[in-house]
Chains A and B, each alone.
Chain A
Amino acid sequence: MKTTKFACIIMLAISILSCSSDDVNNDNITGTGVLTVEFDNAYNDSDLLLETSVYSAVDTEKIWISDVKYIVSNIRLEDEDGEVYTVPKNESYFIVNESDENSLFIDLSDVPAGNYKKITFGLGVDQEKYLEGATGQGDFLSKAEEAGMMWSWQAGYKFFVYEGLYTSATTTTETAFAFHMGSHGTALDNYKEITLDMPTTARVRTDISPVVHIVSDLSQVLDGSTQFKLDDAPQIHVDAVKSPQIASNVSGMFMVHHVHN
């Protein structure tokens, strides 16, 4: 009697433990879904706050940020088998603007259902697109003009805009700084592509819309592979030496923090 009961409980436990989930990768994956890329701007480990927080930059410099904008383009997703989905080129140009909450979320629709492990995107506008001429830009040209992301058609797009005020040991009154980085017409190409690994898989399904949450650490702009002291140059717009350095600092500021499925 006693042994029977004990045996029953053991059997019950074993049967429960053995009914783990089936291998989800064997699902028949068809159709398309939506994948959202979220750009969450940060400064070191803190959520970026415009116009309210003072941040430490290089040496004694303190900055107060009023504007963060960048162009994200040519998004590609790579799945677990190395297959790449490329978002149609003419639908793949976006302006991320910290002051506009909606611009921080990029919805990609018609993404083939799949298990994605990597994301690639461009920072700025590639020469191929630029060489399509003003009419080839579609409505992105007017969007960029409205957002202040163009110098002029000849000079080209601003890929990255970073503005605010700063002080330092030697500059004690608040002084404006502005970094505007882009390609210089066709003379200098500062467009860069960034590929990021996802810590977990983004599972696009007809009924699952993953969010790829990217953190952009703006502290890298002044304090990245190249260090910029604002006392040396508080305004950098078109600069054949410094613009490529800013471009590589900016391209190093992104990471996928996590993925929601």
Chain B
Amino acid sequence: MHQHSEFAPECDLCGCSTSSGSFGFGSLKNSNFVGVRYIYQSFESKDGIFENSPTSKESFNTYQVWGRVPITENFYVSSIIPYQDLYRDFTHRTEHINGIGDMNVIGWYQLTFYKKQKAGDVVFSTEREPSGHRIQFGLGVKLPTGEFEESLTDYVNPGFQVGTGSWDGIFALNYGYSAGKIGINTTATYYAKTANKNDYRFGNQFSYASNFYYSIPKTTFIAMPFVGVSGDVYDSIEQFGEVIPETEGHSFSGTVGSEVVFNKFTVGANYTFPIQQNLFGDNVHAKNKFSLYLNLTL
């Protein structure tokens, strides 16, 4: 017989966001690396359209192989290949889906700024001295390598998917500055999303993350604690070219964490907590997130 069709609108919370700019594409210092990362995210969503509808709890576990490899001195490529393991707990049952998620590939061009030479300075070296400012421009794609199941959009929240099924364009801008022991790393990313084969189009997304870090050098390692903010802004979901109401939203979070660098390894951990959000008519609440990563510097 009929399945009672409940409607909990949700954004592209897992398909893209676990490999999104609000989590960063690399380490603080933006070095070249290969590594693995684990991301845990949890949400509470309304399972239904009413005030007294029950809530469901979603736990998203994402395991990633990620890296950034140089092609030339100023040009490099980064990529993230995720595996998604997602749980959704209802009052009397649990849904579980897993599989390869949507990978992304981004080409980056780096502009390094150098200190100006004052008139009258005698130049001894042909090497210019970097000013500490770096800007990187990224252009990439998110591939539909994760499976999108249309049936899931009807009866549970549409964000509960291992992939979005769409090819999306990624436009990214990264700004880094370091001077002595302190540094800042800021990434802004825009995802231009396309409709998948089910004519389901997740809303375009703007993500940002900015972290301020402080280096504490020790004899065998360097600790780099950091604090930062991050966020996502989503446009409405469209299906068959029509806007689905209450599918837009935004979230703004704070982050604390640290990286520890020893030899060629970087270990990082961070904890992200929501500060302000309004996701999908307030039917979805992002809870705490954390991530752990281990990178080998190339």
Contact = CB atoms under 8 A, between A and B. Distances in A.
B194 A260 contact: no
Interface in A1-38: 1-2, 5-6, 9-10, 12-13, 16-17, 19-21, 23-25, 36, 38
A12 B106 CA distance: 11
A5 B194 contact: no
Interface in B106-164: 107, 109, 139-141, 154
A200 interface: yes
Interface string A198-213: 0111010000000101
B235 to A, nearest CB: 14
Q: In the complex, which range does the number of interface residues on chain A fall in?
A: 35 or more
B71 A21 contact: no
A149 to B, nearest CB: 22
A20 B199 CA distance: 9
A164 to B, nearest CB: 18
A10 B51 CA distance: 47
B16 to A, nearest CB: 15
Given A13-B139, A16-B167, A21-B199, A200 B244 contact: yes
Interface stretch (A41-49, A182-190, A227-235): A41-49
Nearest to B51: A45
Chain A interface SS verdict (over half): mixed
A1 B243 CA distance: 43
B161 to A, nearest CB: 16
Interface residues of B, number: 37
Contacts, number: 91
B48 A47 contact: yes
B195 interface: yes
A45 B242 contact: no
Given A19-B167, A46-B50, A260-B5, A200 B242 contact: yes
Contacts of A213: 5, 7, 49
B152 to A, nearest CB: 12
Closest 6 CB pairs of A and B: A21-B195, A47-B50, A45-B51, A9-B107, A46-B52, A105-B2
Interface of A: 1-2, 5-6, 9-10, 12-13, 16-17, 19-21, 23-25, 36, 38, 40, 42, 44-47, 49, 101-102, 105, 199-201, 203, 211, 213, 215, 257-258, 260-261
